[in-house]
A and B are shown apart, each in its own frame.
Chain A
Amino acid sequence: MSYTIEGRTGTWEIVVGLEVHAQVISHSKLFSGASTTFGGDPNTQVSLVDAAFPGMLPVINHECVAQAIRTGLGLNAQINLFSRFDRKNYFYADLPQGYQISQFEHPIVGKGTISIELQNGDVREIGITRLHLEQDAGKLLHDQDPTKSFVDLNRSGVALMEIVSEPDIREPEEAGAYLRKLRQILRYLGTCDGNMEEGSMRADVNVSVRKAGEPFRTRCEIKNVNSIRFVMQAIEVEAARQVEIWENGGEVDQETRLFDPGRGETRTMRSKEDAHDYRYFPDPDLLPLVLEQAWVDELATKLPELPDAKRARFQAEYGIAFYDAGVLIAEQAVADYYEAVARGRDGKLAATWVMGDLFAALNRTSNTIETSPVSADALGKMLDLIADKTINGKIAKEVFEDMVETGESPDAIVEKKGLRQVTDTGAIDAAITAVLEKHPDKLAEYRSGKDKLFGFFVGQVMKETKGKANPAMVNEALKTHLDA
């Protein structure tokens, strides 16, 4: 256990579980035909169903169900062939029906796992308790009027997957790793874009503290934390707050809290006394959701390769290190790029170029892999030029920078700049002869036993050929000349 809090009364460990709300990627809403596009004009992506007009009824979106199943499969989880929708009843201005349609007793996805990797290389399994489908709420704007809040229902009814973890997380770093891994899986699956700034992925964090070997103590729920960094910070400050309370002989109240990143503290949002009584009951407007195993199987066969599998394959197929493979599969687009470069080529060299020069260039030019000025195809061709000895590694750096700048193909650049490697033995011999003639003193020293000067002669010959000579051939020929 690497993360603990040293209190006056002893050492405390933290217990964290995460509830992630992930907006499902779909064209239309979970129970209505209105659009889910982000950023539409207020209240334009609202149907009578979303605004809960009298007599309106929900009809479920097939794709949202498929997305939940895909996600469940991606989390190595049990897919429940029988699930059901329940109503969660409460009043709020962003909740037109006065209830949220959710899945309480019978979620569509049951237990699963996510494996996460920590900075020190340790790998841990975090349990998934369940995943269920539910409706998102609308949005309130508080800064438009001094006495009123404004209601925009565009988001009302968009499908969410609530993904609940087991209380398996023991340190802030694990929470961060869990969220990054979950987001990575969702993005690979194409079931959620994982964009926490736009709110398409949000986390509720359950935190408690205990001394080693104790059962769980009372937990607090920190609602709607909207970045991974804030989740980690919130856990730290909330755990410290709870330790302080326990050590002062107090009791932690089970309550809902908010994290204030500005002040670096959590504060009460709702105490237990005004805790909701949600009065869950099966939604009588909907029938049970019964899935065919055959459909689940079909979705499973069409699942994309997921990060863990891809990482293992990259290691095996391209001979790259575990760490490097992890970097390259972090984003699907990078992995695809890398693979396009590496396929049929030297995988290690491809990894070096992608993680080194390419990433640096993207960074410098403020590009992403999707907008890279150098296509995977072009980079691959450049590696081919190295492999067939048209250029050497040093010249390749020059060619690459030119590619970044001009977007031209490596062949064109090599031709344009006359960078083709010199492999003509006559030319190399001529250069060597010239160098030896220029440095008779050094030659004498070498011949009298100063072997270290060999490197000097290599350098001079490369200079003479403007860097284009094939270094191996230069070595070879020099030896012949010097030892003659």
Chain B
Amino acid sequence: MSLDLATTRRIAKLARIGLEENELEATRQKLNGILGWIDQLAEVDVTGVPPMVGTETETLRQREDKVTDGNCRDALLACAPETSGPFYTVPKVVE
């Protein structure tokens, strides 16, 4: 499958990576090169083969329902590039 510019623009938008128009074309070419190589997978017959996530070796452990964490606002907010009082801040979102 080959990637067109509109699709490249759409996935850049989905991934929230701001690319200039010229970067979009360069990116398209680069990704297309990789996709062309990846397309060899098409020849593998996977009929009846279950997908593997890679973490199915055991079953999920469950933790006890206890409050063991939190109450570390200062430490968290100290890492933030922008805060106001006890909050993180972002440009105003209109809903």
Q: CB–CB under 8 A between A and B in the complex? A: yes
Residues of A at the B interface (CB closer than 8 Å) are: 26-28, 32-35, 41-51, 53, 59-65, 91, 93, 140-142, 144-153, 258, 269, 277, 279, 282, 284-290
Residues in B with CB closer than 8 Å to A146 are 92
Write out the residue numbers on chain A whose beta carbons fall within 8 Å of the beta carbon of B88.
Answer: 43, 93, 150-151, 153
Q: Of B14, B69, B84, which is within 8 A of A145 by CB?
A: B84
Task: Provide the bound-state CA to CA distance between A60 and B65, in Å.
Answer: 9
**For the complex, is B47 an interface residue (Cβ under 8 Å from A)?**
no
- B residues 53-90 touching A (CB-CB < 8 Å): 53-73, 76-77, 79, 84-90
Is residue B30 within 8 Å, beta carbon to beta carbon, of the partner chain?
no
- For B91, the chain A residues whose CB sits under 8 A away are 147-149
Q: 7 closest Cβ contacts across the A-B interface?
A: A33-B68, A63-B65, A34-B70, A33-B69, A150-B87, A62-B62, A47-B69
Partner of A148, one of B14, B60, B70, B89: B89
Partner of A43, one of B55, B87, B93: B87
Asked whether any CB of chain A lies closer than 8 Å to the CB of B95, the reply is yes
Q: Which applies to chain B's interface (DSSP): helix, strand, loop or mixed? A: loop
Q: How far is the CA of A44 from the CA of B87 in the complex (A)?
A: 10
Q: Tell me if B84 and A282 are in contact (CB < 8 A).
A: no
For the complex, give the distance between the alpha carbons of A289 and B56 in Å. Answer: 10
Which B-chain residue is minimally distant from A85 (CB atoms)?
Answer: B60
Query: A44 and B60: CB pair below 8 A?
Result: no
B63 to chain A, nearest CB (A): 5
Chain B residues near A (Cβ < 8 Å): 14, 16, 53-73, 76-77, 79, 84-93, 95
A284 with B63: CB separation less than 8 A: no
- A43 in contact with B77 (CB, 8 Å): yes
Interface contacts beyond A42-B87, A61-B64, A140-B90: sample of 19 additional A-B pairs, CB < 8 Å, sorted by A: A26-B65, A27-B66, A27-B67, A33-B70, A43-B76, A43-B86, A46-B76, A47-B70, A48-B72, A60-B63, A65-B62, A142-B92, A145-B92, A148-B92, A150-B87, A152-B86, A287-B58, A288-B56, A290-B59
Given that A148-B84, A279-B14 are contacting pairs, would A284 and B53 also be in contact in the complex, using a CB cutoff of 8 Å?
yes
Q: What B residues does A258 contact at CB under 8 A?
A: 95
- Least CB distance from B78 to A in Å reads 12
Residue of A nearest to B11 (CB): A277
CB pairs A–B below 8 angstroms (16 shown):
A33-B63, A34-B69, A41-B86, A44-B70, A46-B72, A46-B73, A50-B70, A53-B79, A60-B61, A144-B87, A147-B91, A149-B93, A258-B95, A282-B53, A287-B60, A289-B59
Contact residues in A for B73 (Cβ distance below 8 Å): 41-44, 46
Report how far A153 CA is from B87 CA in the complex, Å. 9
With A43-B76, A43-B77, A147-B92: A91-B16 Cβ-Cβ less than 8 Å:
yes
Bound-state Cα–Cα, A405 to B1, Å: 81
A290 to B55, CA, bound (A): 13
Among B56, B65, B84, B85, the residue within 8 A (CB) of A287 is: B56
Q: How many angstroms between the C-alpha atoms of A45 and B92 in the bound complex?
A: 24
A61 touches B55 (CB 8 A): no
Please report the C-alpha to C-alpha distance between residue A64 and residue B72 in the assembled complex, in whole angstroms.
24
- A28 and B65 in contact (CB under 8 A), knowing A43-B76, A48-B72, A60-B60? yes
Most buried by A among B76, B87, B90, B93: B87
B66 contact from A33, A148, A288, Cβ within 8 A:
A33
With CB as the reference atom, state the residue of chain B lying closest to A291. Answer: B59
CA–CA, A38 to B70, complex, Å?
A: 14
Shortest distance in angstroms between A55's beta carbon and chain B's nearest beta carbon?
13
**Given contacts A140-B93, A149-B90, are A48 and B60 in contact (CB under 8 A)?**
no
Q: How far is the CA of A289 from the CA of B62 in the complex (A)?
A: 9
Per the bound structure, the CA–CA distance linking A279 and B15 in Å amounts to 11
Closest Cβ–Cβ distance, residue B62 to chain A (whole Å): 4
Q: Would you give the shortest CB distance from B5 to chain A, in whole angstroms?
A: 18
Contact across chains for B53 and A145 when beta carbons are under 8 A apart: no
Which of B14, B63, B87 is A61 in contact with, Cβ under 8 Å? B63
Q: How far is the CA of A282 from the CA of B56 in the complex (A)?
A: 11
Contacts of A153 in B (CB 8 A): 88
Name the distance in Å between B72's Cβ and chain A's nearest Cβ: 7
With known contacts A147-B91, A148-B89, A152-B87, A28–B60 Cβ distance under 8 A: no
A43 to B71, CA, bound (A): 8
Alpha-carbon distance A284/B67, docked complex (angstroms):
25
Q: Which residues of A contact B66 (CB under 8 A)?
A: 27-28, 33
Q: Are B76 and A62 in contact (CB under 8 A)?
A: no
CA distance in complex: A288, B55 (Å): 8
Q: When the two chains form their complex, are residues A45 and B70 in contact, meaning their CB atoms are under 8 A apart? A: yes
Question: Do B14 and A277 touch across chains, with their CB atoms under 8 A apart?
Answer: yes
Chain B residues near A141 (CB-CB < 8 A): 87
CB distance B65 to A27 under 8 Å? yes
Nearest chain-A residue to B82 (Cβ)? A148
- Smallest CB–CB gap between B82 and chain A, Å? 9
With A and B bound together, what is the CA distance between A63 and B77 in angstroms? Answer: 30
A288–B89 touching, CB < 8 Å: no
Chain A min CB distance to B8 (Å): 14
A27-B65, A28-B66, A33-B67 known; A289+B87 contact, CB < 8 A: no
Nearest CB of chain B from residue A415's CB, rounded to whole Å: 51
